[in-house]
């Protein structure tokens, strides 16, 4: 789960609609507004409710136990939380931003529309490098 949420190839964007992949609560990242979706937080916490889409023979099954994560995965979440928190401290942000949107905010795009590899913001560069480092450690464990 942590690897998928924070991998560099995760290109989910709030520009495409509601971002259901935000793995943090508003309080955890000091968001100024409520997120449009708290699906991922509820999924991780094991607090999803049945939606009634089961059938007579296959009733809806909902996991009610929180997910447990390895130490490496937990450090990925901590690094991600620090990045989201830093993003939410900035002006003119999209409250429902995904990791991809956050990267685009800080790194910008070149004249051809390709996302730049680095940002002018050194704090962001340190936070994203830390996230990548933690993700690499998790990948080695997987």
Tell me which residue has tokens 């509601």: 18
Residue 109 is predicted with a pLDDT of: 92
Coil, strand or helix at 115: strand
Each residue of 78-106: pLDDT tens digit?
Answer: 999 999 999 999 999 999 999 989 999 99
Q: Where are the domains of the chain?
A: 2-141
* Nearest C-alpha neighbor of 37 from the set 17, 63, 60: 17
125 has pLDDT over 70: yes
If you ran DSSP here, which 8-state letter would residue 15 be given? G
pTM of the entire structure? 0.83
Each residue of 27-77: pLDDT tens digit?
Answer: 999 999 999 988 888 887 888 776 655 555 666 666 677 778 888 989 998
């Amino acid at each position: 789960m942590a690897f998928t949420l924070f991998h560099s190839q995760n290109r989910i964007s709030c520009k495409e609609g509601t971002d259901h992949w935000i793995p943090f609560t508003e309080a955890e990242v000091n968001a100024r507004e409520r997120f449009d979706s708290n699906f991922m937080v509820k999924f991780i916490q094991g607090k999803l409710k049945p939606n009634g889409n089961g059938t007579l023979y296959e009733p809806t099954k909902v996991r009610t136990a929180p997910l447990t994560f390895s130490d490496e995965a937990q450090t990925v979440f901590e690094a991600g939380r620090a990045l989201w928190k830093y993003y939410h401290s900035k002006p003119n942000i999209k409250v429902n931003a995904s990791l991809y949107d956050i990267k685009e905010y800080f790194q910008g795009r070149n004249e051809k529309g390709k996302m730049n590899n680095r940002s002018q913001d050194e704090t962001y560069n340190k936070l994203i490098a830390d996230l990548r480092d933690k993700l690499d450690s998790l990948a080695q464990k997987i």
